[in-house]
Amino acid sequence: MGIGGIGGGSTKRRVEIPSYRIQSPPQFSITLYRAVLLGASIGLMYIVLGQSQYSPLQSPISTETPERESESSSFHIFKSEDKPEKELDFILKKAAMKDRKTVIITTVNVAWTKPSSIFDLFLESLKIGNETQKYLENLVVVALDPEAYNRCVRLHPYCYSLTTEGGDFSGEKKFMSEDYVKMMWRRIDFLRSILKLGYNFIFSDADVTWLRDPFSRLYEDSDIQFSTDLYLFNSSRSRPNLPNAGWFYVESNPRTIQFYKYWYSKRLNFPGVNEQDVLRKIIFDGSFSNETGVDIRLLDMAYFGGWCEADQDLDVVVTMHVNCCSKLKSKIHDMQMHMEDWKNYGRKE
**Which tens digits make up the pLDDT trace of 84-126?**
688 999 999 999 998 889 999 999 999 999 999 999 999 999 9
Task: Tell whether omega for the bond before 254 is within 30 degrees of 0, i.e. cis.
Answer: no
Confidence band for 291, pLDDT divided at 50, 70 and 90? confident
Reported as type and span, the H/E element at residue 93 is helix 84-95
DSSP E strands, 40-122: 102-108
What CATH number is given for 84-348 in this structure? 3.90.550.10
**What is each CA distance from 345 to 97, 318, 342, in whole angstroms?**
29, 14, 5
What is this structure's pTM?
A: 0.73
Least trusted range by pLDDT, from 46-55, 78-87, 173-182, 286-295? 46-55
pLDDT of residue 183: 77
The end-to-end CA distance of the chain, in Å, is 100
- Provide mean pLDDT across the span 146-163: 94
Q: Residue 35: exposed, middle, or buried by beta-carbon count in 10 A (0-12, 13-18, 19+)? A: exposed
pLDDT of residue 62: 30
Angle, helices 254-265 vs 275-285, to 10°: value is 110
- Mean of the per-residue pLDDT values of the chain: 76
pLDDT of residue 24: 42
pLDDT digits (tens, 9 = 90+) for 211-247: 999 999 999 889 999 999 988 877 877 667 889 999 9
CA distance 87 to 160: 8
